[in-house]
Amino acid sequence: MKRVGHTFRITLFIVLLATLASTMEAAEKKNLVLIETSLGNIKIRLYDETPQHRDNFLKLVKTHFYDSLLFHRVIKDFMIQGGDPDSKLASRDSMLGSGGPGYTIPEEINLDLLHKRGALSAARLSDEVNPTRASSGSQFYIVWGRKYTRSELMGMESSKVENAKKAYFYQLATGFQDTIKVMIKNDDRKGLQKLQEALVAKSEMEFQQHPEYGKFSDDDIKTYTTIGGTPFLDGDYTVFGEVVEGLDVVEKIQNSKIGKADRPLEDIRMKMSIIE
């Protein structure tokens, strides 16, 4: 009887593991997207840590928004960018990179999500015209970058910490959006200045209490020295997914011959679908 009971428990445990694995696989597949190109296919996984970007991307894929759009900007050893709807019917001399679905997405910058090779990130306008760091509603880039030495990473750590402070500041500021709008409407410059100073002070205090914030962890260093990427973008743009298959295709695209405005001489179009 003991042997039978033991066998039963093992069998039940195996069934539970299988059920759990099936559930996890289903959850993972829900966030998988296939990008088909003339140079091969790329499979990406969207992060649950950035739900607004995840859900928006899935919505656009479902409505075939990305189908026939170009990878319109390619920079070797840096990244490949696409998602501009104006690229669908663009002539060879068209200037691309300004199009979108007519809206932006609030930033979801997560300091734990790195710009490692294969990272999927949201394009956006610069801080000067986009102080809230809102992401483009559709344009994205896939990181290629390069491998860095430990000393190179240490040399850029101060700027990485500053990016982290800015990201934390903007996250704090999102909790005061309604207040800020009222102040702007009433031209309350003193109020805005006071609020800004308070948020900056809170940010500084947080980083003093947690000096490790924004710095390269041992895992970060291992990632950037062995896998590669663009560490100088950490804390500056929203990373919301990563390539899980087809990194060789990303490499082919980033090696493309380019012309004016970093556009590939031969059009590289995409077609996307959700992997069920």
Task: Compute and round to an integer the Cα radius of gyration of the chain.
Answer: 22
47 closest CA partner among 65, 25, 66, 32? 32
Structure tokens, 209: 């209490």
Q: Per-residue pLDDT for the chain (276 aa), expressed as one digit of tens each? A: 444 454 444 444 444 334 434 444 444 457 999 999 999 999 999 999 999 999 999 999 999 999 999 999 999 999 999 999 999 999 988 899 999 999 999 999 998 999 999 999 999 999 889 888 899 999 999 999 999 999 999 998 888 888 888 878 877 887 888 888 888 889 999 988 999 888 888 888 887 887 777 789 999 999 999 999 999 999 899 999 999 999 999 999 999 999 999 999 999 999 999 998
Q: Which domains, ranges and CATH numbers included, belong to the chain?
A: 30-144+238-276 (2.40.100.10), 148-226 (no CATH)
Helical H segments across 186-275, by residue range: 189-209, 218-226, 247-254
Name the strand (E) or helix (H) holding 30: helix 2-30
CB 134 within 8 A of CB 107: yes
- Distance, in Å, from the CA atom of 10 to the CA atom of 7, rounded to the nearest integer, reads 5
- Other CB atoms within 10 Å distance of the CB of residue 174: 11
Q: Tell me the β-bridge partners of 82.
A: 140
pTM: 0.81
CA distance 67 to 272: 6
In a 13 Å sphere around the CA of 218, the CA atoms on its Cβ side amount to 0
Residue 187 to residue 193: CA distance in whole angstroms? 11
